[in-house]
Amino acid sequence: MDRTRGDDGGTMPMTRRMFTTGLAAVAAPALLPSAAPAVPVERAYRHVLANGLEVVAIPDHRVPVVTHMLWYKVGSADEEPGRSGLAHFLEHLLFKGTSRNPAPVFSRAISAAGGQENAFTSYDYTGYFQRIAAEQLPVMMDFEADRMTGLVLTDEVVLPERDVVLEERRQRIDNDPGARLGERMQARLWGETHPYGIPIIGFQDEIARLDLDDAMAFYRRHYAPNNAILVVAGDVPADAVFRMAAETYGRIDSNPAILARTRPPAAARDTRERVRLADQRVRQPSLTQTHVVPSYRTARPGEAEALEVLSQVVGASPNGRIYKTLVADRGLAVSAGCFYASSALGDGRFGIYAAPRPGVTIEALEAAMFEVADRVAGDGVGEDEIARAKTRLIAESVYSQDSQASMARMYGAALTCGASMDDLQQWVARIRAVTRDEVNAMAPRAFDFSRAITGELARAERS
């Protein structure tokens, strides 16, 4: 759930940055925040408590505020078959209170102090956060530590909340053509039984069967200090963060049953497949080509960085290859871009997308998209383009430091997906080190859409 904007079970703006979790703008379901690139080493510190809780402190003394984020290394991809939506459902239920702090004590305390709270679910993680005055940090830690193991649920709170989630699915997926297309594309891309091919919010019939026992079993299995990462960014010294974490979270026993996670490969594909959805409510038709590529977690050294630079060369506006060709030069599209969904415990996705101008057929748009892709795959990209792409990526990394929440999200999302502190802190250096040969070696692989999923969102004619 999201206390400020509601869960996004439908489409979500695409991002192209390192360790991002954004999906293609026209086609991908998500219930999660986007993440930003790395920040300098001197601004992040790590400590592991005796019970296994990983604690990351990112001091930022510009304003007397802190962002307190608790990330669990469990998401929808960790659900058992037939119980889709359980991770997201439990996220909702965690706001129902404990015996020591029954609902809505926690939320009222945050509101009374002028703070904000939120939560989100992804395929690979679930997160809870508060943004609050720095002096309230010990209170937030105490509350969050309490609900790590102290959740109290009854049918009287579980069943009505299940109805809330079902309504959320109806509003954000079933009534949103773009979200429905994204759900179908994910299923075809990964395979209908692959964890990434199952919607984060769950299937309606499976959500309707979730109950108290399901929620509590999932909670007891996955919510433990040795399956979590605490990230605190803001106006507090790192040693104080570690001390407060030990005094609150440190009292909780670890769970010896926690196991390392893996993700299976995507279903093998021999041909390109088209998924088309036409609906009268579609305002802007669009076309997306996407296929599976290595993520930062699964790539060989240097591959993910090369894909990152390549996606920037092709997708950035106004000078990115696909934007310049389709939008600026030929006037075929109102928008166009390239994305690399690079943050995942398993593989990631790479693709291109465009939305046609009025009067331009999907066939003409698709032909132009493939023309750009074939040229990049066959001829590669130039040294000047690569240099500009690196400059943009590194500049955006620096700009991301202006937001303590962005830094906390970046660290949490990356670490829960298997990255290390060194991966994050060396990212700028690795981007700088990417060569033209490395980028062009990945180009044929990235822009080979012969086994991709094509997603077409069309406006249905009124009868």
Which residues are within 8 A (CB) of 188 and not within 5 positions of it... i.e. 6 or more apart?
197, 273, 275, 453
The DSSP output letter for 357 is P
The DSSP output letter for 463 is -
Tokens representing 342?
């690079």
| C-alpha to C-alpha distance for 161 and 5, rounded to whole angstroms | 18
Contact 409, 34 (CB under 8 A): yes
Q: How distant, in Å, are the alpha carbons of 47, 295, 428 from that of 365?
A: 51, 28, 35
Is residue 91 flagged as an active site residue? yes
| C-alpha to C-alpha distance for 126 and 128, rounded to whole angstroms | 7
| C-alpha to C-alpha distance for 310 and 385, rounded to whole angstroms | 9
What are the φ/ψ torsions at residue 73 (nearest 5 degrees)?
-80, 60
| C-alpha to C-alpha distance for 284 and 349, rounded to whole angstroms | 23
Q: How many helices (H) and strands (E) does the chain have?
A: 16, 11
| C-alpha to C-alpha distance for 434 and 428, rounded to whole angstroms | 10
| C-alpha to C-alpha distance for 309 and 288, rounded to whole angstroms | 20
SS3 assignment, position 210: coil
Among candidate residues 54, 79, 91, 456, the one labeled active-site is 91
Within 10 A of 80 (CB to CB), how many other CB atoms are there? 11
Burial of 193 (0-12, 13-18, 19+ CB in 10 A): exposed
Residue length, the chain? 463
Q: What is the DSSP string of 287-349?
A: EEEEEEE--TTTSPTTHHHHHHHHHHHHH-TTTSHHHIIIIIIS--EEEEEEEEE---SS-EE
Q: Each residue of 60-73: b (16+ CB within 10 Å) or e?
A: beeeebbbbbbbbb
Complete edge-to-edge strand list for the sheet that includes strand 65-72: 45-48, 54-59, 228-234, 65-72, 126-133, 116-121
Catalytic residues: 91
